[in-house]
Amino acid sequence: MGSFFDFLRTSFWHVFPLLVCAVFAIVIVVERVRALFQVYPIKDTPAFFEKISDLIMAGKMGEAINLCDKHALKPAAVITKQALLRANQPESLIEHGLQLAVGDATKAIQKRTAFLATIANVATLLGLFGTIAGLIHSFEAVGHADAQQKSALLAAGISQAMNATMLGLGVAIPCMIAFSFLMNRTNGLISDVDQSAVKALDILKQRYYAAESEAMNPRNPRDEVPEDTRRSA
């Protein structure tokens, strides 16, 4: 462990790029974890769509839109709002608007996560670069050293080279683990977004066909009069 800290102290220009990669990776992981687990998901999605459905079927379009506005950072609510804003348009236009909203939500959910895979690859290559640089420096030193010093210089150079590899892998491995973990969550949210678009469209279709059915079969006021009252009349 002491030789590793000596490597950090004496090989600053090999270590600095890897530390920068590590800092960027930490920032991305913290931001993405917060977004994917706290900001984007709706805590109770079935209850949200049930409330939206009740409001729409009751003709309270404004209240449904206001409910979506209360979840302005949630992709599912944003997509539902876009569907409601197009409720009086043809079905093809509603579907087109939903496709645009789903595309925007998908980009927001996926952004920056892929950088973790890039950082992992770069860190691995930087570690390899440090290894090769350490070996070159070691063999150059051995070539100009006395016979008694060659073994010590060679051992020191190889140690520096292996420390560079270890540091690179130490950054790359956590990045790949975080990337896999976040991508799994990202794919789940994207699936939820697609389902939200389908649910929003289904609610609007139910509203449309309910209104159409009511228009084709209007209530007869006489049907609401009690039977005893009709006989007396």
**What is the domain range of residue 104?**
2-216
Q: Is the pTM here over 0.75, yes or no?
A: yes
More confidently predicted of 211 and 194: 194
* Strand blocks (E) in the chain: none
Query: Which residue, among 85, 44, 43, 45, has the nearest Cα to 64 in the 3D structure?
Result: 85
Number of domains in the chain: 1
Q: Are 77 and 41 in contact (CB under 8 A)?
A: no
Q: Determine, yes or no, domain membership for 146.
A: yes
Q: What is the DSSP letter of 89?
A: S
Q: Determine, yes or no, domain membership for 222.
A: no
Helix (H, G, I), strand (E, B) or coil at 140: helix
Specify the pLDDT at position 175. 96
Q: Determine, yes or no, domain membership for 137.
A: yes
pLDDT above 60 (res 233)? no
Distance from the Cα of residue 211 to its chain's centroid: 38
pLDDT above 80 (res 202)? yes
Specify the pLDDT at position 3. 59
Q: Determine, yes or no, domain membership for 227.
A: no
Q: Determine, yes or no, domain membership for 184.
A: yes
Q: Determine, yes or no, domain membership for 226.
A: no
Q: Which of 58-67, 190-199, 222-231 has the lowest mean pLDDT?
A: 222-231
Specify the pLDDT at position 6. 67
Q: Determine, yes or no, domain membership for 229.
A: no
Average pLDDT over every residue of 180-207: 93
Q: How far apart are CA 69 and CA 85, in angstroms?
A: 12
Average pLDDT over every residue of 43-64: 91
Average pLDDT over every residue of 197-204: 92
pLDDT above 50 (res 136)? yes
Confidence of residue 169 (pLDDT cuts 50, 70, 90): very high
Q: Determine, yes or no, domain membership for 43.
A: yes
**pLDDT tens-digit readout, 55-104:** 998 889 999 999 999 998 999 999 999 999 998 888 888 999 999 999 99
More confidently predicted of 87 and 107: 107
